[in-house]
A = this chain, B = another copy of it.
Amino acid sequence: MPPETTTTSRRSRLTPERERELYEAVVDLLREVGYEALTMDAVAARTRSSKATLYRQWKGKPELVATALRQCKPISPADIDTGSLAGDLHELVRLHDESEVKRDQELMRGLSHAAFQNVELFRALRELLIEPELASFAELVQRAVDRGELAVDNPARAFVPHMVFGGALTRPIIEGIDPDPEYSHRYIDAVVVPALGLS
């Protein structure tokens, strides 16, 4: 059963369109004011909802923010299927570049700062955003195993997300600039492909 079905049944008071609208408003607010300054009052005002509805449906601000980010993600790695693992990773970069990635880098940076100071946010982001995202990513990797492209016991197999996200995360620190598509494609070819023994 896809996660959307569970979400809808759990939150049956809102139509999918209304939910979508609400998630987008939360992400817009996050971009405008950051996590710390975002209030449930502001979300309620922006979306013309009652705070009671927001708390009933999402429990609290950390859960609402993490769910909104997950639902507004434009790309699901599991949906990418080019026929090779290297091709899938390059396609992931390409799709990411088409989305609003520049604004998202600022957003995710602010959010990761907040997460290391706020244990509820850290937990909500891991449970509602990162773990589902990693599960989707694991499907993409599993297909390479199923195709016989990657050995089940390849020691780098468990580290595909670390490699992919690590290349992006370290560039600002090491080179002083944000990753761009040219960099990400180069990193995949220079690091991820040989580490996995792909050709």
Contact = CB atoms under 8 A, between A and B. Distances in A.
A51 interface: no
B109 A173 contact: no
Interface string A147-173: 000000001101101110111011101
Per DSSP, chain A at the interface is helix
A156 B191 contact: yes
Q: In the complex, which range does the number of interface residues on chain A fall in?
A: 20 to 34
A195 B189 CA distance: 10
Contact of A155 (B113, B162, B190): B190
Interface string A92-112: 000000000000000001001
A83 interface: no
A113 B172 CA distance: 13
Nearest to A189: B155
Given A113-B113, A113-B116, A169-B169, A162 B176 contact: no
Interface of A: 109, 112-113, 116, 126, 130, 134, 155-156, 158-159, 161-163, 165-167, 169-171, 173-174, 176, 186-187, 189-192, 194-197
> Which 3 A-B pairs have CB atoms at the shortest separation, nearest pair first?
A166-B166, A155-B190, A195-B195
